[in-house]
Structure 1
Amino acid sequence: MITYVKYGDIFKISGVTSYAHGCNCQGAMGKGIALQFKERYPNMYLEYKKRCKEGKFILGDVFEYNQENVNIFNLATQKSWRTSADIAAIEKSFETMLHLATEQEINKIALPKIGAGLGGLNWVNVKTIIELVASNYPKINLVIVENFKE
């Protein structure tokens, strides 16, 4: 099931301890939601940056990071921060994330509108892909915040 929240902050959604966001494959988290993840989870950022440098985080990949009771899915959706998100990479990484979440019995994940903010894609197109992939995982509740607001 997908719940769309018009305005909000993924980190302030009640009952959520798992998060996802789109990342580039160059090791940069300097703007938008990625910057918030970098600031909240500096050790995650260092591991992400290392993977990028070593070529171990490419389009369509998922880098899962766990810290205490928080689970973060970093989705490789852009080659670099200078390029637009890649719709095929969003689909592949989203499928992998939901598969991993199912294996771990994670039933709720909060995320922004992946690929359609700084990623530059049309949200309607991305939303269609997300809904299609998510339909195969009915036990996972996704909470998608469409616009950031504290």
Structure 2
Amino acid sequence: MPLVFQEIDGDLFSVASNVSLAHCVSQDMSMSKGIATLFRNKFGQINELKNQNVSVGGCAYITSNDRHIFYLVTKEKYFYKPTMKTLESSLRTMRDLCIKNNIHHLAMPRIGCGLDKLNWDQVS
């Protein structure tokens, strides 16, 4: 099944409840700045995420009200910056998790392009 990518301008947290969500985080699961703080405040479960011990290039996830929330681990520490290589690896891991869990709809911000400073033209 081909990947269909559609860019939509809107509030990430107002998408339908059957749509899974994703964003980038550091391995230390700090989530102290940017959209990550909104995810931390809305979904919590930080200890569960930390206990998954996901390495850089991987993807942690939780479920909240039958919705999967994916945490793309793209850097080691919150003050580091990701690379395209770590982002791509995290995205591949998330793709595999989506296939395994029969997830067909996913919403995410312009990953890696806010505080992490990657270029959206390259990321997209």
- Asked if 1:42 is matched to 2:39, the reply is no
> Which residue does 1:19 correspond to in 2?
21
Deviation at 1:24, TM superposition (A): 0.7
Structure 2 gaps, min length 5: none
**Are the aligned partners of 1:16 and 1:110 in contact in 2 as well (CA < 8 Å)?**
no
- TM-score normalised by structure 2 residue count: 0.88
The list of structure 1 runs, each at least 4 consecutive aligned residues, that deviate by more than 4 angstroms after superposition, is none
- TM-score normalised by structure 1 residue count: 0.74
Answer 1 or 2: which has greater strand percent.
Answer: 1
Identity of aligned residues (%): 29
> Which residue does 2:7 correspond to in 1?
4
> Which residue does 2:55 correspond to in 1?
58
Structure 1 gaps, min length 5: 128-150
**Are the aligned partners of 1:77 and 1:85 in contact in 2 as well (CA < 8 Å)?**
yes
Q: Cα RMSD (Å) of the superposition?
A: 1.6
- Asked if 1:121 is matched to 2:124, the reply is no
**Are the aligned partners of 1:60 and 1:93 in contact in 2 as well (CA < 8 Å)?**
yes
Deviation at 1:46, TM superposition (A): 2.5
Name the amino acid aligned to 1:20.
A
Name the amino acid aligned to 2:89.
K
